Amino acid sequence: MAEVRLEHVTKRFSEDVAALDDLTLEVADGEFLILVGPSGCGKTTALRLVAGLEKPTSGTIAIGGRVVNDVTPRDRDIAMVFQNYALYPHMTVYRNLAFGLKERHTPKPEIERRVREASGILGLDDLLGRRPAQLSGGQRQRVAMGRALVREPKAFLLDEPLSNLDAKLRVQMRAELKRIHQRLGITTIYVTHDQVEAMTLGDRIVVMSNGRVQQIGKPQEVYSRPKNLFVAGFIGSPPMNLLRGRCTDGCISVGELELPWSGPDAPEVAVGLRPEDLRPAGESGPSLEFVVDVVEPLGNEVVVHGTTTGTAVESGAEEEAEIPLVAVGARAAITAVFEPADEPSPGDRIRLRVIPERVHLFDLRTREAIGR
C-alpha cells in the first residue's frame, strides 16, 4: 500500500492539445479516489499515466514516495482493471488470476493460496476452470477484479470497471467494490463518468474537464459547494438548474424572483437551484412560478420538468447527445424533484419554494462560484 502523488503532470498527444494539463493530485494511503468527468476530460489518461502505460510530457508521478516516471508498469507494483476487463481469452479463470504472479516468479504454493483467497472474496470458486468466453458479464468483471486483487499491489487503478454491466449488476458490484475496499484498504484510483458511482464510492472525488481539474473534495462537499459552473452542472442528477440573473443593490434577481443579497454587486450571474431543493411552495417565502411540462414518477420521488420565466445558462457539462437546456419561448426549462404525494399533472401552474441558503451563485464571466 502506498500513496500516489502527481505533480504538475501534463500529457500531450499532439502539439496543440493537452489531454491532461498540469494535474497535481495526491491520493492518500488507503484512500478511494474517484476521477470523474465527461468523456475526453483526461481522466483515463491520468490513470494510464499512473499505470505507466503512457509517459507524461512533463511533471512527476510518485508511488509510495518513489518517482516512477521512468519505471515500467511491471515495476510500479500497481494493478489495473480495464473497462472491457481484458481477460486473457485463452486462459482459464485460474490462469488469468495467476498470470501476474507467475510473471513475477511467485512460488507455486503462494500463487495457489492467493488465487484461492481472491476467488473466495469474489465468489469465483466454481468458475476457476472456465474460460472467459464461458462467463457472464458480471463474472468476467469479478475475474478482472480478482486479477488485480491477487497481486496485492500498492494501488488499484480501475478504469470504468462497471460501465459494461447492466444497471442492476452495476449497483450490486458497486457495493461489492466498496466492501472490498473497506476490507483491504488498498489505495484506489477509480475512473468513471457516472456521477452516482463517484458520489457513492469515493472518499474524495476529482471532477475533471478538458484535461483540467475542476474541483477536488469529499462527495458531499462537491455536491453542496460546487466550485464552478461545470461542477454544478456535472454533479447531481437531475442536474442543477442554472438561470441567468444578477446581483445588484442587495438583491439577487432571476426572472421575477428576488432574493436578499449582501455581497458585492455582480451584473451577470448564473443562479443555481438543485431540483431536489425545489418543492411546491407553501404560504410564505420566496418562490418561482413554474408550468409543469412532463412528469416522471420514480416511486420514491417524482421528477418534474417544466418551465419558468428567465433564461437558462449552460454549464458546459451537458453531454453532447443531450438536448441543451432550451429556452421555451421566452421561458427557461427547469427540473424539480417532488415527493410522490405532491405529484402534479402536465399543464399545472405551481409555485416552487426557493430556500435562499440553498441557492448557488456563479459569476458568468469567470464561471467560478461566488462565495457567501
Q: Which stretch binds another protein (CB under 8 A): 11-19, 36-44, 46-54, 167-175?
A: 46-54
Q: Rule CB under 8 A: choose which of 78, 121, 198, 278 binds another protein.
A: 78
Q: Which three cell numbers stand for residue 113?
A: 493460496
| Interface pattern 134-173 for another protein (x via CB under 8 A) | -------------x---x----------------------
CA–CA distance, 307 with 181 (Å, rounded to integer): 43
Q: Is 90 in the site for another protein (CB under 8 A)?
A: yes
Q: Is 2 in the site for another protein (CB under 8 A)?
A: no
Least separation in angstroms between CB 91 and another protein: 8
Q: Is 70 in the site for another protein (CB under 8 A)?
A: no
Q: For residues 6 and 24, is the Cβ–Cβ distance under 8 A?
A: yes
Q: Is 52 in the site for another protein (CB under 8 A)?
A: yes
For another protein, give the closer residue by CB, 143 or 337: 143
Report which of 341, 332, 334, 234 is spatially closest to residue 294, judged by C-alpha positions.
334
CA–CA distance, 287 with 338 (Å, rounded to integer): 15
Q: Is 80 in the site for another protein (CB under 8 A)?
A: yes
Q: Which stretch binds another protein (CB under 8 A): 47-55, 181-189, 221-229, 336-344?
A: 47-55
CB atoms within 10 A of CB 301: 16
Site size with another protein, rule: CB under 8 A: 22
Q: Is 103 in the site for another protein (CB under 8 A)?
A: yes
Q: Is 51 in the site for another protein (CB under 8 A)?
A: yes
**Coil, strand or helix: which one is 88?**
coil
For another protein, give the closer residue by CB, 103 or 320: 103
- Strand partners of residue 157: 80, 189
Q: Is 10 in the site for another protein (CB under 8 A)?
A: no
Report which of 348, 218, 355 is spatially closest to residue 276, judged by C-alpha positions.
355
CA–CA distance, 7 with 22 (Å, rounded to integer): 8
Run of H or E residues at 130: none
Q: Is 252 in the site for another protein (CB under 8 A)?
A: no
Least separation in angstroms between CB 90 and another protein: 4
CA–CA distance, 340 with 167 (Å, rounded to integer): 23
Q: Rule CB under 8 A: choose which of 24, 39, 84, 136 binds another protein.
A: 84
Q: Is 181 in the site for another protein (CB under 8 A)?
A: no
Task: Report the largest interatomic distance among the alpha carbons of the chain, rounded to a whole angstrom.
Answer: 76
197-207 burial by CB neighbour count: b if 16+ within 10 A, else e? bbbebbebbbb
Q: Rule CB under 8 A: choose which of 1, 58, 67, 88 binds another protein.
A: 88
- CA-based end-to-end distance of the chain: 40
Which residues contribute to the site for another protein (CB under 8 A)? Answer: 51-53, 72-74, 78-80, 82-84, 86, 88-90, 99-100, 103-104, 147, 151
